[in-house]
Amino acid sequence: MTPTTLITGGAGFIGSHLCERLVDSGHEVLCVDNFYTGSKDNIRHLVGHKRFELIRHDVWLPLYVEVDRIYNLACPASPIHYQNDPVSTTKTSVLGAINMLGLAKRRRARILQASTSEVYGDPKLHPQPESYWGHVNPIGPRSCYDEGKRCAETLFFDYHRQNGVDIRVVRLFNTYGPRMHPRDGRVVSNFIVQALSGEPLTLYGDGSQSRSFCYVDDLVDGLVGMMDQDSEIGPMNLGNPVEFTIRQLAEEVLRLTGSKSPLEFRPLPQDDPVQRQPDISLARATLGWTPKVALEDGLKETIAYFRKTLAL
């Protein structure tokens, strides 16, 4: 029988790619979103498809639907968006987890949580394996997101131990690609939009901090792989282990766009992690998963998307 899959946050950047992938592979997909950071434009091409359904709903509230699988992605993900209303961000992570876990418990559905590398905070161990407990400020401007996601992980594991809920927990590292919000302040979208508009590329700090950037198609492969296997509940890191400094990223974006935009240095935001790189041994061993798309190729796709949608 065709499984019915609920995707919360399905109208967001990653969620919309996941909706598309699952509809294409024969799932009935129920997309739930309150459009806080997501957009109908991201899923417009799916509306009207016989296996796709959309509900406007806030995961702070319980949801009674008949589904077999749940991907819980609802949560603003960029620092600008999640710090805009920090109390809401924590509520979305925590109440959203409680409501979706309650639904999974009633339905005996498998549920996957999109957690984050932010649970490691500003890590003192590099690269970060899943066994690392992290170095997180509980009261800073990023805490609403980091601690909200940590509490959601706690709830997932307690529902598993206490109620036998069939959980999967993945920790996503920086992901990029088409359908990123052009003004969400994340570094890849910022640099591309700035380069295409001829504006200065804003580097925070001296640009020596590093991130590892995973193309969205690779990430979706990992999410589906984790959901579809029976041996590992996680937590499991999903991300691209190839690390770049933010300055290298800026130079690559300038090269690929042919832009003459200058670099503009700005103060580093508080608690901005210095380094981040996933140890993906567990994903490799369990799922046979490894990212395939090189930064250059993924950036070319993303640049083409922004050129088209912003007419730049």
For ligand NAD, which is the closer residue by CB, 77 or 250? 77
Sign of the CA dihedral 201, 202, 207, 213?
Answer: negative
Q: Mark whether 145 is an active-site residue.
A: yes
Site residues for ligand UDP, 154-193, by CB under 6 A, read: 174, 185-187, 190
Burial class (CB in 10 A: 0-12, 13-18, 19+), 263: middle
d(CA 274, CA 308): 33
Return the percent helix, strand and coil in the chain, to nearest 5: 40, 20, 40
35 binding ligand NAD? (CB under 6 A) = yes
d(CA 128, CA 121): 11
Lateral strand order in the sheet of 167-172? 52-56, 28-33, 4-8, 69-72, 110-116, 167-172, 236-238
12 binds, among ligand NAD, ligand UDP, none (CB under 5 to 8 A by kind): ligand NAD
Mask for 83-122, x = binds ligand NAD (CB under 6 A): ---------x---x-----------------x-x------
Q: Report how far apart the first and last C-alpha atoms of the chain are (Å, whole number).
A: 45
Angle between helical axes of 143-163 and 86-107 (0-180°, round to 10): 20
16 binding ligand UDP? (CB under 6 A) = no
Site residues for ligand NAD, 196-225, by CB under 6 A, read: none
Mask for 119-158, x = binds ligand NAD (CB under 6 A): ----------------------------------------
269 binding ligand UDP? (CB under 6 A) = yes
Mask for 48-77, x = binds ligand NAD (CB under 6 A): ----------xxx------------xxxxx
Query: Which of 9-17, 100-108, 200-208, 225-233 is the region at the interface with ligand NAD (rule: CB under 6 A)?
Result: 9-17
Distance of CA 104 to the CA centre of its chain: 21
Candidates 9, 10, 79, 298: give the one binding ligand UDP (CB under 6 A). Answer: 79
Query: Which of 92-100, 120-128, 197-205, 252-260 is the region at the interface with ligand UDP (rule: CB under 6 A)?
Result: 197-205
Residues with Cβ within 8 Å of residue 139, at least 6 apart in sequence:
none
Q: Using alpha carbons only, what angle is made at residue 280 by residues 277 and 285, rounded to the nearest 5 degrees?
A: 170
237 binding ligand NAD? (CB under 6 A) = no
Count of residues engaged in binding ligand NAD, rule: CB under 6 A: 28
Q: Three-class SS of residue 157? A: helix
Q: HSE of 305 in the Cβ direction (CA atoms, 13 Å)? A: 18
Task: Catalytic residue, from 145, 159, 176, 215: name it.
Answer: 145
60 binding ligand UDP? (CB under 6 A) = no
| Positions in the binding site for ligand NAD (CB under 6 A) | 8-9, 11-15, 33-38, 58-60, 73-77, 92, 96, 114, 116, 172, 174-175
| Positions in the binding site for ligand UDP (CB under 6 A) | 78-79, 174, 185-187, 190, 202-204, 209, 211, 246, 269, 272
Q: Which residues are catalytic?
A: 145
